[in-house]
Structures are given as C-alpha cells and as structure tokens.
Structure 1
Amino acid sequence: MAKLEPYRGDYYLWEYLPSKPAAVIFLLLFLAATLFHTWKAWKTRAKFCIPFCIGGLFEIVGYGARGACTDRTAQLMPYVIQNIFILLGPIFFAASIYMFLARLIRSVGAEKHSLIRVNWMTKTFVAGDIASFLVQGNGAGMMAIDRMADIAKAIVITGLMIQIVVFGFFMLTSIVFEKRMRRAPTAHEGSWRRHLYPLYAVSVLIMVRSIFRVIEYAMGNKGYLLSHEWPMYVFDSVLMLGVMGIWGWWHPGIVRQETDGAQLLSMGSMESKA
C-alpha cells in the first residue's frame, strides 16, 4: 500500500501522497491533445507549432512521472522529473504563441501597427522564454536538495517572474496591435479578430497559471498550495489543458506564409484569400 516516506532522515519530498488516478487521467488527456496537435501541425505544415507539441510532450512525461511517484514518495528521480517537466511545459506553449502573433501581423500587412518591429518580435519574446526556461529548470532541479530548497524556490520564482514580465509585454503588444488596427485597418485586413481573440484566451490562461506558481512557491513547502494537491490540478493542469483545447479548436496553422506575401487560409479550404 502506498504511503508517504521520507527521502532522507526526516526530510520529505512530498507534503501529501500524490494521487495516481489524477495523474493518469491528465496523462491520457494530454496524450490525446498532443497527438491531435502533432497531426494538425503536420497537416497545416505549421512549423511554428512544433514547440507547442513539445510542450504537450513535457506534460505527458511530467504526469507519467507524477503517477509513478505515488508508490515512490522516497525516490528522488521521479519527483525531479515530474517537477521539472510539468513546470516547464507551458514555456513551449508560450513560444508558439509568440511566433503566431508575428505571422498574424504579417498576414494582414500590419507591420506598422506592431509595438516592436515584427522581424524582432519572435526573437525578443522567445529569448525571454529561453531565459525563463533556463532559470526555472535550474531551480526545479535543485528543489529536492534540502539545504538548497530556499535558494531553489527563489530561483524558480525568478524564472516565473521573467515569464510573467515577458508574457505581460507580449499581451500589451497584442492589445496595441488590435487598437491600431481598429483605428487604421489595412487593405488586407482579413479576419484577424477571429484569430486574435483565441490568442488572448490562451495568453490569459498561461498568465494565471504563472501567477499561481509564483504564489505557490512564495508560500513555501509548508504553505497551503504546496501542501495540498488540488490547487496544482485546478490552477495548472486544467488551465494548460484548456490552452491545448483552445489552440486545437482554433488552430493557428491556418495562417501560413506564402512566397508572395502572407495570407489567411480558410480552415476548410486550401484556397488562399486576398
């Protein structure tokens, strides 16, 4: 029978016994979503969606390791794997979201409405994403070391704050683009609103999740959020599954770069629109 056991001496990796059924359910849900997104990215030839699929793979590995932790609460490796992969998966979701906005702006010839140069947009936001990834990854890997726990939490919080700042600037860039487009539509306006609003939705979900994670780690291991399992599933697992659901229902692969200029493509047709 599964029980909570100390990792070393009186130091426990877990403050509760992780639920195997919950981990398996989300493993299967993320597996189904990732397979769908991989197929969709291949069908639409949307290379910028590859990071999104990698993020789904991270979630799968994370919840697989978390399920294994139920019977191995004293083992370090499955704890570290689930912690790192579940924490870092959304960073890859964000990378694809950043790249999509640049393509959307180009698709309607609205480069002049962008808060920053479109050629630099993807590089700027993805660079911030990479910085967040490296910082969070280092911190998450150190969290299982008792004497390094406080330092590790501070590092993870720093990485999450980088992600929040970068994502906040990204959302501001999106809102400025929308306002400028409303004031001065381009000749190839197209149906950009239909693509921008789902972008807002997934952005808000990722932002809420990141803020939750900051509060979670700031409260410490003995705080309510880290000492109970349900908040992680409600404010991380469900939200990230929502991101994959929205991204799949409205798949951004319909915006494709053409050799003679970016165009918006219909979901049900391969005919390009002017």
Structure 2
Amino acid sequence: MAEEKFSLWHGPPSIPAAATFAVLFAITSFYHTWQAYRLRSKFMIAFIIGGYFEVGGYIGRIAAHSNLTSMGIYIWQTLLLLLSPTLFAASIYMTLGRIILHTRGEHLAPIARTKLTKIFVIGDIFSFIVQSGGGAMMSKASSQNTGKVIVLIGLAIQVIMFGIFIGTSAVFHKRLSTSPTTESSNAPWKKYMYGLYVTSALIFIRSVFRILEFQGGHNGVLMTTEFFIYIFDAAPMLGVMLVFNLVHPGELISSYKNVDGTPLSHV
C-alpha cells in the first residue's frame, strides 16, 4: 500500500518552483482583490477565488515535498490547480456580456446577451462539477481510471466551450467594428476584447495540455516531468491573471450606469 501511495509522485515536487509561483499568484490575487474592491467589480469574484486556488495548489506542492505518501495533500493540490481555470473562465464569460451591454451592441451579438452569459457560465459550472467529481474519484486506486476519464470529459467540455466562446467573441467584434454604435465609438472596448482573446487562448492551451497529460496516464512523460506543469499550466494561468491586472474590465464598466441607474459592475 505504501508503494502505491508513493507512486502518486515521481519524485519530490520542487520547492523553489512551487514557492515562486505561490508567491507570484498571491501578489496578483491580492492586487485583483484590491482592483475589484476599488472598481466595484463583483463579477470578478470567481476570478479572484481562482487566483487563491492557484496559491493553495502550489502551497500543496510545497507541502507534498516531504509528504509524498499523503493522499490528502495530493488531492488537495490536484483539485485546486485543476479547477482554478474554470473560475477564471466564469468571469471571462461575464466580461463579454458586460462589454456587449456597455457598447449597446446587443443586436450585433450572435447569441443574445441575456442568454450568452447563462449558456457559457452554466457550461463552465458543469465542467467544474465534472472535473471535481473525477478528481475526487482519482483519490482511490479502485476508481482512478474512471476518475481520469471523467476529468478528461470535464476538460473536453471546457475546451469546447472556450472554442465556441472565442468564435462568438470574434463575430461580435467584427460586427461592432463594421457597424459601430455611438457608445462603442466613445470607449476603448477593443482593448478589452483583445484581453479576452489572450486570456481565453491561454486557458485553451492549458486545457489542451491537461487533456494530453491525463490521456498519457500516470506514467506518461507529461505527468512524470514536473517541468511541463510549470510551462503549460502555471505560466499560462499566471499570464491570465496578469493580463486582467493590466487590462481590468472593471476600468471600462465600473462608472457605467444601466438604464435604471444601477452600476453595470453590480449586475
């Protein structure tokens, strides 16, 4: 039994690497917390939680360095790092809806704004639940293979949803550029759309990596080489957070009012 637990890890996780990313994610998460408070961007709460998930995940890898037989620590860091991108995605989806509303471009969106956010967020929640269930099942040797399959399904859902989302965003972008509204002419909305493209692409790349990693199995090269998780997971997710630090959607919409006078950022 001890050997099976030990095989959870292919050598002790690197403390310097995990500590570096834990600190970097903590810094950007704290800054996001302040930005959301200052700009009253409640729709970014899921994004911020995702940032703290990343911090917790890499702290878990630090803890695992001297606790290679602990199943609890292994599942802790696996789930936090696996699920954080779904939380980032939820805020990214909501951001597009607010850009559409801010520019009064509802008639140009390929999917009605009121339905768009619901469709993508519901899909994101479903992906979150599926991945959570699969990750939990992987904690038991008897259900490890089934859990891996379920996680792969959850990741596939995430990739498909992001593919559709990027396409939807591009269609709206092209239509609004061709037929600009008065509101869009007076706001730097394109900067925030490009922010959505970059963050979406980074999460897309990371999700594809995770699919390949799980497909390769526990003894596959992607799962046995720690370097890859930092290049194709940690770095892209840190990039997502930094992009939104620099191009924070709350800066575009925090002072904008709906018809009834309600701050858009509170919707």
Structure 1: any 5+ residue segments left out of the alignment? 1-5, 266-274
Verify the 8 A CA contact 1:68 1:78 in the aligned structure 2.
yes
For 1:36 and 1:191, the matched residues in 2 are separated by: 23
In structure 2, the partner of 1:156 is 151
With 41-50 and 134-143 compared, the bigger mean Cα shift is at 134-143
SS at match of 1:188: helix
TM (norm. structure 2) is 0.93
RMSD: 1.9
1:70-102 CA-partner distances (Å, limit 9, x unpaired): 000011111000000011011111100000000
Q: Which amino acid aligns with 1:203?
A: S
- Specify which of 202, 205, 220 is matched with residue 202 of structure 2: 205
Number of residue pairs matched?
Answer: 260
SS at match of 1:17: coil
In the superposition, relative to structure 1, how do residues 146 and 49 fare at CA in structure 2: closer, same or farther (>3 Å)? same
Verify the 8 A CA contact 2:199 2:243 in the aligned structure 1.
yes
Verify the 8 A CA contact 2:5 2:70 in the aligned structure 1.
no
Structure 2: any 5+ residue segments left out of the alignment? none
- Specify which of 117, 126, 145 is matched with residue 121 of structure 2: 126
For 2:231 and 2:88, the matched residues in 1 are separated by: 18
Verify the 8 A CA contact 2:5 2:69 in the aligned structure 1.
no
For 1:9 and 1:78, the matched residues in 2 are separated by: 15
Verify the 8 A CA contact 1:56 1:89 in the aligned structure 2.
yes
In structure 1, the partner of 2:247 is 250
- Specify which of 91, 94, 103 is matched with residue 89 of structure 2: 94
For 1:109 and 1:253, the matched residues in 2 are separated by: 17
In structure 2, the partner of 1:229 is 226
For 1:43 and 1:113, the matched residues in 2 are separated by: 31
SS at match of 2:111: coil
In structure 2, the partner of 1:73 is 68
In structure 2, the partner of 1:269 is none
Verify the 8 A CA contact 2:49 2:87 in the aligned structure 1.
yes
Verify the 8 A CA contact 1:7 1:75 in the aligned structure 2.
no
Q: Which amino acid aligns with 2:127?
A: S
The answer to whether residue 174 in structure 2 is matched with residue 174 in structure 1 is no
In structure 2, the partner of 1:85 is 80
Deviation at 1:10, TM superposition (A): 7.4
Identity of aligned residues (%): 41
With 237-246 and 183-192 compared, the bigger mean Cα shift is at 183-192
For 2:25 and 2:227, the matched residues in 1 are separated by: 18
For 1:29 and 1:247, the matched residues in 2 are separated by: 14
Deviation at 1:15, TM superposition (A): 2.1
Name the structure where helix makes up a greater proportion of residues.
Answer: 2
The answer to whether residue 17 in structure 2 is matched with residue 18 in structure 1 is no
In the superposition, relative to structure 1, how do residues 94 and 260 fare at CA in structure 2: closer, same or farther (>3 Å)? same
SS at match of 1:51: helix
SS at match of 1:16: coil
With 175-184 and 222-231 compared, the bigger mean Cα shift is at 175-184
For 1:111 and 1:103, the matched residues in 2 are separated by: 10
Verify the 8 A CA contact 2:25 2:238 in the aligned structure 1.
yes
For 2:14 and 2:74, the matched residues in 1 are separated by: 13
1:16-52 CA-partner distances (Å, limit 9, x unpaired): 3211111111111111110000000000000111111
For 1:101 and 1:120, the matched residues in 2 are separated by: 12
In structure 2, the partner of 1:270 is none
In the superposition, relative to structure 1, how do residues 30 and 11 fare at CA in structure 2: closer, same or farther (>3 Å)? closer
For 2:163 and 2:195, the matched residues in 1 are separated by: 16
1:135-155 CA-partner distances (Å, limit 9, x unpaired): 001111122322222111101
Verify the 8 A CA contact 1:19 1:67 in the aligned structure 2.
yes
